Amino acid sequence: MLTYTHIGISLLLIIAILLQQRGGGLSSTFGGGMMEYSTKRGAEKVIFYATIVLAVLFLGISMARLLL
């Protein structure tokens, strides 16, 4: 059962990482994307915190599998 949970959390973690917005696309390549401070709002904030939670769960299950 622990193995299936580990696989499920790893897949969710991969999806959460891939969903996160990265840079400004091509605008940053041509100098349009400056590093500005911005706060995370809405879905971006939820995905960010979900990624942290999933990473902690993944690490915890990995450690539990080592001990068992």
Mean pLDDT, the chain, as a whole number? 84
pLDDT class for 47, splitting at 50, 70, 90?
very high
Q: Give a yes or no: residue 26 inside a domain.
A: no
pLDDT of residue 35: 58
Give the pLDDT mean for 33-48. 77
Residue 54 CB coordination number (10 Å): 19
Q: Show the domain range for 42.
A: 2-19+38-67
pLDDT of residue 36: 61
Check residue 25 and report its DSSP letter: G
Q: Give a yes or no: residue 60 inside a domain.
A: yes
Domain count for the chain = 1
pLDDT of residue 46: 92
Q: What is the pTM of this model?
A: 0.74
Tally of residues, the chain: 68
Q: Give a yes or no: residue 7 inside a domain.
A: yes
Give the pLDDT mean for 5-25. 87
